[in-house]
Chains A and B, each alone.
Chain A
Amino acid sequence: GNSVTQMEGPVTLSEEAFLTINCTYTATGYPSLFWYVQYPGEGLQLLLKATKADDKGSNKGFEATYRKETTSFHLEKGSVQVSDSAVYFCALSPDSSASKIIFGSGTRLSIRP
């Protein structure tokens, strides 16, 4: 089946620290991979995506590379800010004809000033 596993939170870092949130997936086809972010009191926003192996998605200083050999899509940022505090969801869409998105359980990130 299709599933997403991401590191449990909460993760607390100091401002300007390096961030990694691990995500691995299981999929039967050729999925597209996403990171969504949920800021306090808001809905889900697409942060970045990758649609095929070795693609790198990037946005707002965040990056994630689609690694088929390790079935991973880890989220990284070189220097986090207080405004990055949010819940981050790794997700996949099983293939281009699939309707649904399958989400990981979310990782809460808190950045200390």
Chain B
Amino acid sequence: EPEVTQTPSHQVTQMGQEVILRCVPISNHLYFYWYRQILGQKVEFLVSFYNNEISEKSEIFDDQFSVERPDGSNFTLKIRSTKLEDSAMYFCASTVTLNQPQHFGDGTRLSIL
């Protein structure tokens, strides 16, 4: 069965550094998402992306965050200047249409030191 894949599985970064999290959505999917889960807390929506632009974003997704689909397969989340509170598990998801369930990757654990 096709899967959403995320790399790396664990990223350790110094505070203030830029980090890029990578995702390869399922190949025929058109809608892409990032969520995060701070340890012990809820999974929170960050951003959705369709047709090469952001379709919705949460208040968490401030100017420090950006997303990009640089080619036909990758979908990236960039955090420009990381803060301690950015430490979390970040999940990428994709779906073929809006009324179908989203498929999630295994996540990238981001640790900010």
Across-interface contacts of B43 in A (CB, < 8 A): 44, 89, 103, 106
Q: Which chain A residues numbered 76 to 113 have a C-beta less than 8 Å away from chain B?
A: 89, 96-106
* Majority DSSP secondary structure for residues of B touching A: strand
Cα A45 to Cα B107 with chains together (Å): 12
Across-interface contacts of B99 in A (CB, < 8 A): 32, 51, 96
Interface centre among A44, A49, A103, A105 (most CB of B within 10 A): A44
Across-interface contacts of A103 in B (CB, < 8 A): 42-44
- Whether the pair B45, A102 counts as a contact (CB closer than 8 A) is yes
The count of chain A contact residues (Cβ–Cβ below 8 Å) is: 22
Interface size grouping (class) on chain B: 20 to 34
Q: Is B75 an interface residue (CB 8 A)?
A: no
Residue of B with least CB distance to A101: B102
Chain B nearest Cβ from A45, distance in angstroms = 7
- Whether the pair A104, B42 counts as a contact (CB closer than 8 A) is yes
Across-interface contacts of A44 in B (CB, < 8 A): 43, 91, 93, 104
Cα A49 to Cα B4 with chains together (Å): 19
* Majority DSSP secondary structure for residues of A touching B: loop
Residue of B with least CB distance to A44: B104
Across-interface contacts of B98 in A (CB, < 8 A): 96-99
Contact with A along B26-55 (1 / 0, CB 8 A): 000001010100000111110010100001
Residue of A with least CB distance to B9: A41
Across-interface contacts of B106 in A (CB, < 8 A): 42-43
Q: Which chain B residues numbered 81 to 113 have a C-beta less than 8 Å away from chain A?
A: 91, 93, 98-99, 101-107
- Whether the pair B101, A105 counts as a contact (CB closer than 8 A) is no
- With contacts A44-B43, A89-B43, A105-B41 taken as known, whether A100 is within 8 angstroms of B48 at the C-beta atoms is yes
Q: Which chain A residues numbered 44 to 73 have a C-beta less than 8 Å away from chain B?
A: 44-46, 49, 51
Residues of chain A touching chain B, judged by Cβ–Cβ distance below 8 Å, are 32, 34, 36, 42-46, 49, 51, 89, 96-106
Cross-chain pairs A/B with CB under 8 angstroms, 16 sampled: A36-B104, A42-B106, A43-B4, A43-B104, A46-B101, A46-B102, A49-B101, A96-B98, A97-B98, A99-B31, A99-B56, A100-B33, A101-B93, A103-B44, A104-B42, A106-B42
